[in-house]
């Protein structure tokens, strides 16, 4: 019986290793992003430029890639036809004191289509990457 389980365990290990983050996205500081839930520490705001470098590569990626890269969303909106939007705050706001409620703080919004693939990535308010003089 042990010999029959070995191929199954090997297959399971291969499948789990395939659920990671593609190499092209590994330069993004995912751990810092994930550790700043609701952007209350202000660390995500510093990563917006870095995120912009990988943003286009996320289009068409599956939901598990987004969750592995950005972590559990701060909020989630369910839409018709099994679509959803993951919300990741990028600046501190009322979400830091009133958990679970939407805040007017700027946030990254990742739309997943009915097949679980990224179809749109936007910000609640436009981001300007140029620094004021």
Question: DSSP of 77-98, one letter per residue?
Answer: EE-GGG-EEEEEE-S-SGGGTS
> Does 129 reside within a domain?
no
Tell me which of 12-16, 88-92, 128-132 is least confident.
12-16
Residue range(s) defining the domain that contains residue 105: 28-123
pLDDT at 9 over 80: no
> Does 43 reside within a domain?
yes
* CATH value at residue 84: 3.30.1450
> Does 79 reside within a domain?
yes
Distance CA 70, CA 61 (A): 13
Residue of 102 and 51 predicted with greater confidence:
51
107-112/84-89 β-pairing: antiparallel
**pTM for this predicted structure:** 0.80
CB neighbour class for 27 (10 Å; exposed up to 12, middle 13-18, buried from 19): exposed
- What pLDDT was estimated at residue 15? 44
pLDDT tens readout for residues 42-86: 999 999 999 999 999 999 999 999 999 999 999 999 999 999 999
Confirm if 58 and 121 have CB atoms less than 8 A apart.
yes
Q: How many domains are contained in the chain?
A: 1
């Amino acid at each position: 019986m042990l010999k029959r389980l070995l191929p199954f365990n090997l297959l399971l290990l291969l499948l789990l290793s395939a659920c990671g983050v593609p190499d092209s996205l590994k330069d993004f500081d995912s751990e810092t992003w994930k550790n700043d839930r609701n952007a209350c520490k202000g660390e995500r705001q510093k990563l917006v430029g870095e995120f912009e470098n990988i943003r286009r590569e996320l289009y068409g990626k599956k939901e598990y890639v987004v969750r592995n890269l950005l972590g559990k969303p701060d909020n989630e909106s369910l839409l018709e036809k099994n679509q959803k939007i993951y919300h990741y705050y990028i600046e501190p706001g009322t979400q830091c004191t009133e958990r679970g409620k939407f805040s007017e703080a700027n946030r990254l919004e990742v739309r997943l289509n009915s097949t679980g693939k990224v179809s749109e990535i936007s910000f609640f308010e436009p981001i300007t990457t140029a620094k004021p003089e």
